[in-house]
Chain A
Amino acid sequence: MQMTQTQRSQVAAPIETFRAEALTKVYPGETPVHALRGVDLEMYEGELAVLLGPSGSGKSTLLNILGGLDQPTAGHFYFRGRDVTKFDQEELTQYRRDNVGFVFQFYNLIPSLTARENVALVTEIAQHPMTPDEALQMVGLGHRLDHFPAQLSGGEQQRVAIARAIAKRPSVLLCDEPTGALDSKTGIVVLQAIVRANQELGTTTAVITHNAVMAAMADRVIRFADGNISSIERNTTKLKPEDLSW
């Protein structure tokens, strides 16, 4: 599996999922904040990218724009050739519904729904979803289907969030500090779930982290500084999450 993935990114011409052109985001105010200063970036089908960078450098801002949560102040961003920056509210919602899976630092599960129901929330509105049970199996939670979030540990809650994100077989999976609130052991279990989705579903995945160790599991490492990309490295070998330690 890992081989084919590597082969694809090395041998075949990589297919572009995203293309960002000169993305700029300015938060207006008495002193305007330039969160993004003309970011250019491509992301390829099936790749796993890790975004690193100091706090406030604009990582989340970029991810939010890529996920259709926010619109840039200037610049363009294409998803499979379509200019998402031209989308209106309804189109953005549709874009998220059909293509994007999100995972946040603070799981954001619905407390009044069980694990299965939290996932079903998405599968009910998706076009080609897996069943909630399958999705929860993938993240290793097949045995906790009927628990409410309050009855789950932080790591388990995050895995439900991942299951919820991947259950619709999204084209892209965007994770903003998915392990930020977890210990390393639990964090690794969560990362395994993300990597599994990336490999088995071929989902283009971007993971924001402050943990430089995680760079070792990526196809590419994108570093951020002061609202722009400072460097991009390609890993020749990728480590599995279980081989990471911090």
Chain B
Amino acid sequence: MSALQRFLLRWSMSLKVSALDRKLLRDVWRLKGQTLAISVVVAAGIALLVGTYGCLAALQASKDVFYERTSFADVWASVKRAPNSMHDKLAQIPGIATVETRIVADATLDIADMIDPARGRIISVKEGEIPLLNQFDLLAGRLVQYGRPNEILISDAFAKAHKLGLGDTLSANIYGKKRKLEIVGIALTPEYVYALAPGQIMPDDKRFGILWMGYEALSAAYDLEESFNSVTATLLHGAVEADVLQRLDILLKPYGGVGAYGRKDQISDFFLTNELAQLASSGAVAPPIFLGVAAFLLNIVISRLVATEREQIGLLKAFGYTDWDVGWQYTKLVAIVVGFGLALGLWGGVWFGQGMTSMYTTYFKFPVLEYRVNAGVFASAAIVTVIAGIIGGVSAVRQAIKLSPAVAMAPPVPTSFNKSKFSIWFERFHISQPTRMIFRHVTRWPLRTAMTVAGISFSVALLIASFFFMDSVGKVIQVYFYQAERQTLTVSFVEPRGAEVEESILRLPGVLATQPVRTVSARLRHGPYTKRSAVNGLVKSADMNRLLGADEKPLDPPDGGIALSEHIAKELHVQVGDMITVEVLQERRPVIEVPVTQVVKQYLGFSTYMHISELNRLMHEGPTVTGIHVLADSRYINDLYTKLKNTPMVAGVAQTEASLRGFQDTMDQTMYVMIGFYIAFSSLIAFGVAYNSARIALSERARSLASLRVLGFTRQEVAYILLGELGVQTLLALPVGCLFGYGLAYAMSPMLKTDMYDFPFIINDPTYGFSVMVVAIAAAICAVLVRRRVYNLDLISVLKTRE
């Protein structure tokens, strides 16, 4: 008796615990390995639930509070140039609560600690004031002052990424003029909680920063005196957003309006909302799986316990305990097991939630983002646990209640076995008796074998489904970066340029090849379905930015038609051959009907494509580009950067390689962490199932095994019989699990799709191998643990007693 056991015993005595409860405590203690395994699986489910939903609640709360406090806008619109006098007209649009006009412009920034140029989004503010809408939090310093045109505020993340502080300077290429700007304040805005530069797939705090500049200075720099090019507004309660957007478009059209949009098209909010939705769905998928497995294990263990204790149960009833007294004991046992799991899960969940929340702080910039213990989440965790306990325990407890005392008094009957048709084979191949025992046990209880196989294969499946994420993301990276977007960088211009600009870019140092692109923003319409999308004009036989067909082979942009990303085609409910309406939202705003000639494969950043000269014709312009894709020689890249930073017409440089790195870093930091958790949890399930079934087999067969030991079998030989069974079950489970995992991943892949990513269904071979290996290792560890028990089997005490 260990010290702990003795302590528990004393403690239970001192509490005047009834004999029945002492039996209960001793049962729990005796079965501690098995009950702990169940508790841990419960805890895993609860931890995922509490962590995920707690984190979700934290994000949601931070978002709501931040948006509310800072008057985050409801609608946005861009124009080329509109006079400030328009402001009052806009304010009169029915449904608009507050409207604010401003200037928003992009510039390349030259930061001392970085060779390559960063992109800056400069927003105008009234000197000495905080904006009415999208108010920023001034974290340090002061507002920009009137008459000091070089003062700026910069976003907190950008400041941190470059260790910039108050009084530091940076130089910006604003509308062709190089300006030295002085940082006077650090700010945080609801508009760029998720700060994604245009055309990028991941935020990059080093290469994209938000700057605020006084209105006078910015309007002067961009020749927008007394004018604005951006409108934001909040809506009144009950206002219909679509109506307001339409009125905005009508009013702004004469000024080069590029189409008003609501929050669902505002990049930062879009991603935030998407992330919340994904978090909610992942939180809804995983915990039930774990709790289901826990219920399953609970059912196995408690049923077996009731079966082995049937004599005791009958005896208790014979002594005068009621059926309910007995049932209550086993109910309490279930309660102890799941209760411990719940407690462990809540503790682990808070820890997990904190980790997850702090991970989010690197992507979502809120003034406060903290995981907080959430009573609602805790309560639902408790409810879910109780449900799992009921599902897992009810049938076993019912067995205990139904058992009649007479049954217990009957002498034990050895389990009957039948000679199967395999017996002939046993003889023919001289199969040893221990091997026959393994075989007969596996086939004697097909249901139990099936359950164990199902349990273990489930963990294989869960692992495959987790690794499938990596395979899928790997595929996305492969297709996006190595097939579709092969340029080193993309130069974008302040305004559309004549096609001859490509020549001058090609002449820059280190530039090996170029590819022009013309991009306009448009609204696509097909019947009742509409979708905002950029339309990219591409050249034929492009080598960098390419369209890919269903077979991932490059395609040429269509002649006299439009190519849609699969995702957009689905949203618009169109197929190749259908006509759609393209309403260009800028410049002359042409509207045309075009046939959909291609549906292209894209997993990331869905878009729309035309041939560049078709697009130029549509825009009533000569050969015109908005950007040049560049393939650069890495040896001269620094020269190229320096040159580009000092080229006036360049509004931004998007570095594809940097995005690839950023993407991969993000995956390393978030995805792999999550997957790590899932791997750990799946291994736990495998372990829990294997350990429980081996322990049950051990307790049922302790007598046989002890007899064998008495007969002179070595410990290894005896362990072989027991572990052979586990081995057979595991071997059966592995291929079944692979099939199961294939199905699970297939079912999950559409659930992961968002408006930004498509998760292709692809499972690489190593995924199967690795999943199988992890589960095999978990089974092996549990075999070692059970083997130790076989080795320490107390022969005398087992054989002294009746079954």
Answer yes or no: B433 CB below 8 A from chain A CBs: yes
Answer yes or no: B222 CB below 8 A from chain A CBs: no
Answer yes or no: A216 CB below 8 A from chain B CBs: no
> Which of B92-100, B386-394, B412-420, B685-693 is near enough to bind chain A?
B412-420
Given A69-B795, A106-B803, A120-B433: A111 in contact with B711 (beta carbons within 8 A): no
Count of chain B residues with a beta carbon within 8 Å of a chain A beta carbon: 36
Answer yes or no: A243 CB below 8 A from chain B CBs: no
Contacts of B709 in A (CB 8 A): 93, 96
Contacts of B433 in A (CB 8 A): 113, 117, 120-121, 124
Which chain B residue has the least Cβ–Cβ distance from A161?
B707
Answer yes or no: B715 CB below 8 A from chain A CBs: yes
Q: Which of A64, A89, A109 contacts B414 (CB 8 A)?
A: A109
Which chain A residue has the least Cβ–Cβ distance from B433?
A121
Answer yes or no: B800 CB below 8 A from chain A CBs: yes
* Cβ of A170 to closest chain B Cβ, rounded Å: 9
Given A112-B441, A117-B433, A121-B433: A100 in contact with B419 (beta carbons within 8 A): no
Given A108-B703, A109-B414: A114 in contact with B713 (beta carbons within 8 A): no
- Is the Cβ of B712 less than 8 Å from the Cβ of A125? yes
- Is the Cβ of B713 less than 8 Å from the Cβ of A70? no
Answer yes or no: B512 CB below 8 A from chain A CBs: no
Answer yes or no: A194 CB below 8 A from chain B CBs: no
Which chain B residue has the least Cβ–Cβ distance from A98?
B712
* Cβ of A62 to closest chain B Cβ, rounded Å: 12
Q: Which of A106, A112, A125 contacts B440 (CB 8 A)?
A: A112
8 A Cβ contacts from B1-37 to A: 1
Answer yes or no: A241 CB below 8 A from chain B CBs: no
- Is the Cβ of B704 less than 8 Å from the Cβ of A111? yes
Among B434, B711, B715, B795, residue most surrounded by chain A Cβ atoms (within 10 Å) = B711
- Is the Cβ of B715 less than 8 Å from the Cβ of A89? yes
Q: Which of A90, A102, A110 contacts B714 (CB 8 A)?
A: A90
Given A64-B796, A113-B437: A122 in contact with B711 (beta carbons within 8 A): yes
Give B79-100 as 1s and 0s: 1 = Cβ < 8 Å from A's Cβ atoms.
0000000000000000000000
Contacts of A112 in B (CB 8 A): 415, 417, 436-437, 440-441, 444, 704
Give the A-B pair count, Cβ closer than 8 A.
Answer: 99
- Is the Cβ of B414 less than 8 Å from the Cβ of A113? no
Contacts of B434 in A (CB 8 A): 121
- Is the Cβ of B416 less than 8 Å from the Cβ of A110? no
Answer yes or no: A67 CB below 8 A from chain B CBs: yes
Given A108-B799, A112-B437: A93 in contact with B416 (beta carbons within 8 A): no
Answer yes or no: A60 CB below 8 A from chain B CBs: yes
CA distance A111 to B412 in the complex (A): 12
Contacts of A111 in B (CB 8 A): 414-417, 704
8 A Cβ contacts from A115-168 to B: 117, 120-122, 124-126, 146, 148-151, 157, 164, 168
Answer yes or no: B802 CB below 8 A from chain A CBs: yes
Answer yes or no: B432 CB below 8 A from chain A CBs: yes
Contacts of B708 in A (CB 8 A): 110, 121
Contacts of A117 in B (CB 8 A): 433, 436
Contacts of B711 in A (CB 8 A): 96-97, 102, 121-122, 125, 164
Contacts of A164 in B (CB 8 A): 711
Interface residues on A, range: 35 or more
Answer yes or no: B710 CB below 8 A from chain A CBs: yes
- Is the Cβ of B710 less than 8 Å from the Cβ of A102? yes
Contacts of A78 in B (CB 8 A): none
Contacts of A104 in B (CB 8 A): 799
Which chain A residue has the least Cβ–Cβ distance from B801?
A106
- Is the Cβ of A150 less than 8 Å from the Cβ of B707? no
CA distance A175 to B800 in the complex (A): 13
Q: Which of B413, B795, B800 contacts A150 (CB 8 A)?
A: B413
Contacts of A122 in B (CB 8 A): 711-712
8 A Cβ contacts from B760-803 to A: 795-796, 799-803
Which chain A residue has the least Cβ–Cβ distance from B432?
A124
* Cβ of B434 to closest chain A Cβ, rounded Å: 8
Contacts of A113 in B (CB 8 A): 417, 433, 436-437, 440
- Is the Cβ of B712 less than 8 Å from the Cβ of A106? no
Give A20-60 as 1s and 0s: 1 = Cβ < 8 Å from B's Cβ atoms.
00000000010000000000000000000000000000001
Give B398-422 as 1s and 0s: 1 = Cβ < 8 Å from A's Cβ atoms.
0000000000000001111111000
Give B725-744 as 1s and 0s: 1 = Cβ < 8 Å from A's Cβ atoms.
00000000000000000000
* Cβ of A45 to closest chain B Cβ, rounded Å: 21
CA distance A90 to B714 in the complex (A): 7
- Is the Cβ of B437 less than 8 Å from the Cβ of A96? no
- Is the Cβ of B712 less than 8 Å from the Cβ of A100? yes
Which chain A residue has the least Cβ–Cβ distance from B6?
A30
Contacts of A89 in B (CB 8 A): 715
Which chain A residue has the least Cβ–Cβ distance from B713?
A125
Contacts of A64 in B (CB 8 A): 796
Given A113-B436, A124-B432, A124-B433: A93 in contact with B414 (beta carbons within 8 A): no
Which chain B residue has the least Cβ–Cβ distance from A63?
B796
CA distance A93 to B802 in the complex (A): 24
Which chain A residue has the least Cβ–Cβ distance from B426?
A117
Contacts of A109 in B (CB 8 A): 414, 707
* Cβ of B696 to closest chain A Cβ, rounded Å: 15
Which chain A residue has the least Cβ–Cβ distance from B703?
A108
Among B1, B416, B433, residue most surrounded by chain A Cβ atoms (within 10 Å) = B433
CA distance A177 to B575 in the complex (A): 86
CA distance A60 to B710 in the complex (A): 14
* Cβ of B626 to closest chain A Cβ, rounded Å: 78
CA distance A150 to B440 in the complex (A): 14
Name B residues whose Cβ lies closer than 8 Å to a Cβ of A: 1, 413-419, 432-434, 436-437, 440-441, 444, 703-704, 706-715, 717, 795-796, 799-803
Taking A90-B714, A93-B713, A121-B708 as given, write out 4 further A-B residue pairs in contact, using a Cβ cutoff of 8 Å, ordered by the A residue number: A106-B802, A108-B799, A157-B414, A168-B712
What are 19 inter-chain pairs, A to B, with CB distance below 8 A?
A69-B795, A70-B796, A96-B711, A97-B711, A97-B712, A97-B713, A106-B802, A111-B414, A112-B417, A112-B436, A112-B437, A112-B441, A113-B433, A113-B437, A120-B433, A121-B434, A146-B419, A150-B415, A150-B417
Name A residues whose Cβ lies closer than 8 Å to a Cβ of B: 29, 60, 64, 67, 69-70, 89-90, 93-94, 96-98, 100, 102, 104, 106, 108-114, 117, 120-122, 124-126, 146, 148-151, 157, 164, 168
